[in-house]
Structure 1
Amino acid sequence: MIHELKLMAEQEATTAAGSATRPVLANVSRRGILGGAGALVLALSLRSPARADETQTKEQKEHKYGADGMPHGWRDDPKVFIAIAPDGTVTVTNHRSDMGQGVRTSVAFTVADELEAAWPKVKVVQAWGDETRFGNQDTDGSRSLRHFFQHFRHAGAAMRAMLIQAAATQWGVPAAEVTATNHTLTHAKSGRTLDYGAVAQAASALPVPTDVKLKDPKDFRYIGTGKVGLIDNVDITTGRAIYGADTKLDGMLYAAIARPPVYGGTVKSFDDSAAKKVAGVVKIFKIAATPIPSEFMPLGGVAVVAKNTWAALKAREALKITWDDGPNASYDTDVFRKELEAAARKPGKVVRTQGDVDAALAKANKKVVAEYFVPHLVQAPMEPPAAVARVKDGVCEAWACTQGPQAANDRLMKALNLPDDKVTVHVTLLGGGFGRKSKPDYVVEAALCSREVDGAPVKLAWTRDDDIHHGFYHTISAERIEAGLDDKGMPVAWLHRSCAPTIGSIFAPDPKHELPFELGMGLVNTPFAIPNMRMENPEAAAHVRIGWFRSVSNIPHAFAIQSFVSELAHEAGRDPKDYLLDLIGPARTIDPTSIGDVWNYGEDPSRYPIDTGRLRGVIEAAAKGAGWGREMPKGRGLGIAGHYSFVTYTAVAAEVEVDEKGQVKVQAIDIAVDCGPQVNPERIRSQMEGAVVMGMGLALTSEITFKQGRAQQNNFDGYEIIRIDAAPKVVRVHLVPTGSYDGPLGGVGEPGVPPVAPAIANAVFAATGRRIRQLPIRDQAAGA
């Protein structure tokens, strides 16, 4: 099984230049990152968090990564570079991909704050794909700051100490008498000052300190203040920022590929005579199909390389291809849904058990059963997959909007039979990712095209139709929950069966059961105070490429569980918010491994236990923000849902209006988040607002269906994401801070999505009395 899945499973048990007066962003070469005579370059041996070595699983110790995603040997092999040039410019290398979450800014100001750098003198360069040098570069799992915040703090503090020592030596004074503030070194007794650049060369000769003093958070100027905007905001808003689709090289050609319409399909034969007549066509050739399981490699098909995109697309249209649709030719999601639901009604693989569920159900005062369904989804980022590759003289260089540059590097090595030192992957900005761009099949496609045209650089940009027809889809899921209630309407027994194809199916011959990291996304770690609980995972085959989608399996699990809680509250004649809090029980910490979760988002359970008090806190905050309990006019309702994911706690209170035709309008959303200490509050708010809009799309309109193995949606007319006119008039984000900056951080990018759909569905019931048990809602609120 390949690196990315192994890493997740183990963690289970081109320049965009700016003015001189503001921060800038650049993509640079390997040499360029160290360029500049006289510069202080800090190749810092960053230390892993305390106890990381002690808490690794057996699998983690056998792999090259530690519990925090750092490579073993990090202490001896420099990974993160921070440079100060003679003119005082501070260059921070960002090793994670930026797809709108602002990680470049957060990394830069974390370093700058501890370094006491003046923000206008800071710039960011983007690291190429090299995990040996930079550590884990997969931008997924909401873990960029979670895993690297403390490391970058230490980096900035170490450099500050080196500059202070260099200045003290030059002045012949004790280092304790020198201070560093806002890019200036000061000796108060003599009144002397120096700019950072003046001692950069001298500081570069000093050893990197291994024990540094971090700033007191009360002295932070950037961290936690929300006062720092995106470092590349001007470039983005003025169109100067470089995304994958913007890359241009001299002599560049353009490609389009006709891929098998059914997963696992192959080309039987093709006639390209008409396609060759299209002006501008350079070459047409067949790409070999990757056998199932496909992993991250291309699907195969027929490629067209031309002098412009229009010619490539028109020639692709003119191809006459006979396909062998392969083993998934009959895939029909309507039929498959019935198979999933039938499987969920029978016993499955037990993945968590406590007490005696069967006996408790038999003795219960009342039994409640409900089934829930979530369809396939596709990430549909604003910028579809795009890459440029040049393969010449045994060297491959690629430029791509990728979430996983090392993954792209590894697949290029495999596809081209090249050694690691002959492959370089440059990372551009990403116009959204949501998990799609962690799979680099499109980068490999571009490289294969370049190789076929004697090393000319080739740009391959997927169309929206390509993206929707040939993606890595979010799994389809059937969830069945049974509860036995006592005479007060509270559960004494809880049985949850979750049936869905697994992401593992793209790496191994259809495992049919979800992997521990999928089960640990809101299923086995359900934190309810119920004495008898059992979770089961019936078998489910995969018929399309299943991949990561923002929040992953938390989406179906949260939708089913939080919707069912609302149903139980109604059965008990209770307020849904109060009932949910009673189910969670009193504030306490739960060791996730004690309830069947061997993954816990890759984190040490002693540092990251499930804290029900924090979950209760966000539910209370969202309810308060929405004015929970107020009288609602006819046709309006409030719904609530809370969820724990990516070691962060979120809750959503939704206010909806349903008109006489059953059309649902979300009027307001209150979303509360507790991610621990808040490094970049402005980005947290933005992420939560984006999660609300994305979650609304999943709730109301978005789905992918298949007939005869083919996706039935072609573009945004079929795969409907939320339009601006459907956005709520009000989105209120409530930040619930806990913990200290020396303690563990939670994730932010993904946790906001899961509670949105169930909160909306519960609000629809409050407004109409109609239960929503399948997504998307569409016209279900209209009733019979």
Structure 2
Amino acid sequence: MLGYLDRELSGRVRPDTSTDRSGDPILVGRLEKLDRRRFLQLTGAAGAFVVAFRVLPAEAMQPYPTGASGMPNGTVSDPHVFVAIAEDGTVTIVAHRAEMGTGVRTSLPMVVADEMEADWARVTVVQAPGDEPKYGNQDTDGSRSLRHFVQPMRQCGAAMRAMLEAAAAARWGLDPKQVKAELHEVVQRADPSKRLGYGALAKAAMAQPVPPFEALAFKDESEFRYIGKGEIRIVDLHDITTGKATYGADVRLPGMKYAVVARPPVVGGRVKSYDASAALKVPGVEKVVEIPGSTPPAKFAPLGGIAVVADNTWTAMQGRDQLKIEWDDGPNGSYDTTAYRAAMSATAKQPGKVIRKQGDPDAAFAAAARVVSAEYYEPHVTHAPMEPPAAVANVTADKAEVWAPVQSSYGTREDVAKLLGLPIEQVTVNVTLLGGGFGRKSKCDYVQEAALVSRAVGAPVKLQWSREDEIHHSFYHTTSVERIEAALDGSGKVTAWRHRSVAPSILSTFAPDSGYQFPIEYGMGFVDMPFDIPNVVCENGQAMAHTRIGWFRSVSNVPRAFAVQSFAGELAHELGRDPKEMLLELIGPARIIDPKTAGMPKDFWNYGEPYEEFPIDTGRLRHVVELAADKAGWGKALPKGEGLGIAAHRSFVSYIATVVHVKIGDDGAITVPEVTTAVDCGYCINPERVESQMQGAAVMGMTLSLYSAITFAKGRVEQSNFYDYEMARMTRYPEKVAVHVVPHPFPVHATGVGEPGVPPFAPALANAIFAATGKRLRDLPFGDTLS
């Protein structure tokens, strides 16, 4: 779910050296669960101080001992982090990324608190509104929040600690070196009984100059209180479990109206005519508003349609049911996924655009003793977050304010401002908790709909999508056919590898569709295939998009890992090898892969990270394979109808291996007693969240493997709700998920966690089913019962 690329693809991202981002101290605006009066108390009348810190230039990052240069991929060159301390000692830390289950609202403030020696029990976390000139990049996506912001958060905390120490030293008439911060107080080193609390130092600390980077003293890893300990639970846990948390649909404003929209059933369709007379007769329905549609490629603009506004959501839905609409289906009215799959398969059997070429694969295939081939299929899927899209907007003649569960708060602010023709300074985006996102809520079409309807009715409006709306009108994960061929010599050695990938591209959402993918998609388990094979060719076949294609958790890594890791299992069977040993042989010896000598393209995409800092390290990939296999008891005897399957994949610069233990019932029912996952995510900042993300990835992997499929006929989605777009339920999802994190010292870069647990699951399950039954499944989803 790489929404931060949305603005790059749209040409909206400012250069890294933007001069409009100030490093001077500034105040935060409206924050979740913090009204304006309370905020003024914190930041002014109560003697609090708020400090913003700029990320310093490349040479300033040396305390990150591996030598990371600035922000790793240059997309967040100037993030601002704010901390306020009230006179009662309460520390308020602003979270500038959105919370959708990854724990980012906890983990990033936790780093600040640790470095500034704050007592976590006295820390309050509040949410930043969408304002990148103040806060830096706010796109919650790409599994990059921690790997990009650990150092800036440490820098913020260390500077805050230094300012508190300087204020205390001045009050005591001492040199700052004679005092130290210690768990929410500053104490004299010579006489620890003399101490001052943070609240007592707030005003004086505010008067201190922000110390230069060179003067900052960062904690040693051995001094961390919270970082890497796994003892801090997410700050929203209590409110979530007690029903007090505020999601998008929970926002209420005085005089608020409620709206739903009837949208074209086919992407690119239009309203030919409509009759709203019956809808307006429904008691409580107040107005009907036509929303103009967009012409693809249209990024995240609304699909268009007819909005019904009422005094509550249920009434609006009843009114929508009474609309009489004649649709023009447009150019995609014949889209049929059965026929489309056959066309992709035919394309995959033909040579495509060469994206990676290493050695002489044609000669190796010509000289092969035998060739093994297989084709793998994944359908469209949708995100199906627990909370369907919803947004509240209040638009007046000269300003707009919205409340919404969005992954890209500033991108939303830009899009709403452009849509309404308002200066961006007159638009406010408040971020609620996200009841699931998975990439869907990086796209703000639902917020723009709410803004348009609010402007039309002259009142605040909550616009709600139903589950059916979400399934019928999503930005779908791409469908794909992946065909792999391997040349074997007489001794059973793999001498050549050909991978043809055919899938409609996300780029079609942003630009005229060429039918080919682009470097970001190529870099997800395709051209970066890490096997030690001398002759490799990766080809991309043309596939035009006929629906909206968008970011989905782990994106193209899902079909590529399914194909590559399933095929590794097939080769093991073909050669009579143990699957784990076959996988390790394919990976080859521990080494750093050189993209140039491996024939990768010059524009090889490495998740936006500098390759010298985040290379493809096959030693780390081998290690997670061996660790997962060992912890799962690989090779142990299992009863009839049970089996173990293994798969490993590098994505978002992390290394994950998963072993699935499957059990096939007498009726063919597939159950998973246990999943074992080994994770190498560099230094683990928050182990509790890493374990949680891997557990969630196993459940989502189970869903993708057994159930999820969006199909089209006559351009229309055939699924409607959870009765025909199923999820893994309590009776079928993995009974136990054991997570083993590879330990690293702090100098090893933190890498991605939110997404990389998903891709290895489906191939591990497919390999386990084969081990248990001898039946090879190559098409997702498998169904939850073998025939």
TM, length-normalised to structure 2: 0.93
The equivalent of 2:5 in structure 1 is: 4
Change over 3 Å in CA distance of 1:594–1:384 after alignment to 2: farther
Q: Which amino acid aligns with 1:161?
A: A
- Deviation (angstroms), 1:666: 1.4
Q: Distance between the aligned counterparts of 1:609 and 1:377, measured in 2?
A: 31
The equivalent of 2:91 in structure 1 is: 90
Query: Tell me, what secondary structure is at the counterpart of 1:40?
Result: coil
Q: Distance between the aligned counterparts of 1:337 and 1:51, measured in 2?
A: 52
Q: Distance between the aligned counterparts of 2:171 and 2:655, measured in 1?
A: 50
- Deviation (angstroms), 1:585: 0.5
Change over 3 Å in CA distance of 1:29–1:358 after alignment to 2: farther
Q: Which amino acid aligns with 1:135?
A: G
Change over 3 Å in CA distance of 1:49–1:759 after alignment to 2: farther
Q: Distance between the aligned counterparts of 1:471 and 1:563, measured in 2?
A: 29
Q: How far does the alpha carbon of each residue in 1:36-79 deviate from its partner, in whole angstroms, 9 at most, with x for none?
A: 332121111222555999xxxxxxx9xxx96535555x3xxx72
The equivalent of 2:621 in structure 1 is: 615
The equivalent of 2:317 in structure 1 is: 313
Q: How far does the alpha carbon of each residue in 1:202-238 deviate from its partner, in whole angstroms, 9 at most, with x for none?
A: 1111111122111111111100001111112111111
- Deviation (angstroms), 1:779: 6.2
Q: How far does the alpha carbon of each residue in 1:309-349 deviate from its partner, in whole angstroms, 9 at most, with x for none?
A: 11100000000100000000000000000000111111111
Alignment counterpart, residue 36 of structure 1, candidates 21, 32, 44: 44
Q: How far does the alpha carbon of each residue in 1:662-705 deviate from its partner, in whole angstroms, 9 at most, with x for none?
A: 32111211111100000000000000000000001101111100
Q: Which amino acid aligns with 1:39?
A: A
The equivalent of 1:629 in structure 2 is: 635
Is residue 216 from structure 1 mapped to residue 220 from structure 2 by the alignment?
Answer: yes
The equivalent of 1:497 in structure 2 is: 500
The equivalent of 2:19 in structure 1 is: none
Query: Tell me, what secondary structure is at the counterpart of 2:769?
Result: helix
Change over 3 Å in CA distance of 1:29–1:490 after alignment to 2: farther
Is residue 168 from structure 1 mapped to residue 169 from structure 2 by the alignment?
Answer: yes
Partners of 1:593 and 1:605 within 8 A in 2: no
Q: Distance between the aligned counterparts of 2:661 and 2:735, measured in 1?
A: 11
Q: Distance between the aligned counterparts of 1:83 and 1:592, measured in 2?
A: 46
The equivalent of 2:533 in structure 1 is: 530
Q: Distance between the aligned counterparts of 1:230 and 1:405, measured in 2?
A: 21
Alignment counterpart, residue 195 of structure 1, candidates 190, 194, 197: 197
Q: How far does the alpha carbon of each residue in 1:90-140 deviate from its partner, in whole angstroms, 9 at most, with x for none?
A: 111111010011111101111110000011111111111111111111111
Change over 3 Å in CA distance of 1:560–1:70 after alignment to 2: closer
- Deviation (angstroms), 1:631: 1.4
- Deviation (angstroms), 1:8: 7.1
Give runs of aligned pairs for residues 333-732 of structure 1, distance below 5 A.
333-454=337-458, 456-592=459-595, 595=598, 596=600, 598-732=604-738
Is residue 206 from structure 1 mapped to residue 208 from structure 2 by the alignment?
Answer: yes
Change over 3 Å in CA distance of 1:51–1:649 after alignment to 2: farther
Query: Tell me, what secondary structure is at the counterpart of 1:496?
Result: strand
Is residue 232 from structure 1 mapped to residue 236 from structure 2 by the alignment?
Answer: yes
Partners of 2:334 and 2:714 within 8 A in 1: yes
Partners of 1:52 and 1:68 within 8 A in 2: no
Q: Which amino acid aligns with 1:663?
A: A
Change over 3 Å in CA distance of 1:49–1:241 after alignment to 2: farther
Q: Distance between the aligned counterparts of 2:784 and 2:721, measured in 1?
A: 21
Change over 3 Å in CA distance of 1:30–1:645 after alignment to 2: farther
Q: Which amino acid aligns with 1:271?
A: D
- Deviation (angstroms), 1:4: 3.5
Q: Which amino acid aligns with 2:150?
A: F
Q: How many residues align?
A: 753
Partners of 1:764 and 1:781 within 8 A in 2: no
Partners of 2:130 and 2:413 within 8 A in 1: yes
Q: Distance between the aligned counterparts of 1:546 and 1:376, measured in 2?
A: 9
Give runs of aligned pairs for residues 731-742 of structure 1, distance below 5 A.
731-738=737-744, 740-742=745-747
Is residue 26 from structure 1 mapped to residue 33 from structure 2 by the alignment?
Answer: yes
Q: Which amino acid aligns with 2:776?
A: R
Partners of 1:48 and 1:70 within 8 A in 2: no
Alignment counterpart, residue 331 of structure 1, candidates 320, 324, 335: 335
Q: Which amino acid aligns with 1:134?
A: Y
Change over 3 Å in CA distance of 1:293–1:116 after alignment to 2: same
Q: How far does the alpha carbon of each residue in 1:383-404 deviate from its partner, in whole angstroms, 9 at most, with x for none?
A: 0111100001310000000001
Q: Distance between the aligned counterparts of 1:351 and 1:52, measured in 2?
A: 35
The equivalent of 1:15 in structure 2 is: none
Query: Tell me, what secondary structure is at the counterpart of 1:665?
Result: strand
- Deviation (angstroms), 1:511: 2.6
- Deviation (angstroms), 1:249: 0.6
- Deviation (angstroms), 1:163: 0.4
Structure 2, gaps ≥5 residues long: 14-30, 63-68
Q: Distance between the aligned counterparts of 2:83 and 2:709, measured in 1?
A: 44
Query: Tell me, what secondary structure is at the counterpart of 2:218?
Result: coil
Q: Distance between the aligned counterparts of 2:189 and 2:707, measured in 1?
A: 64
Q: Distance between the aligned counterparts of 1:416 and 1:357, measured in 2?
A: 54
Query: Tell me, what secondary structure is at the counterpart of 2:200?
Result: helix
Q: Which amino acid aligns with 2:126?
A: V
Q: Distance between the aligned counterparts of 1:744 and 1:50, measured in 2?
A: 17
Partners of 1:70 and 1:135 within 8 A in 2: no
- Deviation (angstroms), 1:576: 0.4
Two-structure CA RMSD over aligned residues (Å): 2.0
Q: Distance between the aligned counterparts of 2:609 and 2:10, measured in 1?
A: 12
Structure 1, gaps ≥5 residues long: 12-23, 54-60
- Deviation (angstroms), 1:30: 11
Q: Distance between the aligned counterparts of 1:688 and 1:175, measured in 2?
A: 44
Query: Tell me, what secondary structure is at the counterpart of 1:256?
Result: strand
Q: Distance between the aligned counterparts of 2:717 and 2:304, measured in 1?
A: 17
Query: Tell me, what secondary structure is at the counterpart of 2:115?
Result: helix
Give runs of aligned pairs for residues 239-318 of structure 1, distance below 5 A.
239-318=243-322
Q: Which amino acid aligns with 2:758?
A: V
Q: Distance between the aligned counterparts of 1:652 and 1:632, measured in 2?
A: 18
User: Quick one: percent identity of the two aligned structures?
Assistant: 56
Partners of 1:376 and 1:704 within 8 A in 2: yes
Change over 3 Å in CA distance of 1:780–1:565 after alignment to 2: farther
TM, length-normalised to structure 1: 0.93
Q: Distance between the aligned counterparts of 1:51 and 1:327, measured in 2?
A: 54
Q: Distance between the aligned counterparts of 1:677 and 1:48, measured in 2?
A: 23
Is residue 100 from structure 1 mapped to residue 101 from structure 2 by the alignment?
Answer: yes
The equivalent of 2:23 in structure 1 is: none
Q: How far does the alpha carbon of each residue in 1:574-623 deviate from its partner, in whole angstroms, 9 at most, with x for none?
A: 00000000100111112446542621000000000011111111111111
Q: Distance between the aligned counterparts of 1:588 and 1:327, measured in 2?
A: 49
Partners of 2:649 and 2:760 within 8 A in 1: yes
Partners of 1:669 and 1:731 within 8 A in 2: yes
Change over 3 Å in CA distance of 1:275–1:415 after alignment to 2: same
Partners of 1:69 and 1:136 within 8 A in 2: no
The equivalent of 1:68 in structure 2 is: 73
Query: Tell me, what secondary structure is at the counterpart of 2:646?
Result: strand
Q: How far does the alpha carbon of each residue in 1:249-305 deviate from its partner, in whole angstroms, 9 at most, with x for none?
A: 111110000000000000000011110000111110211110111210100000011
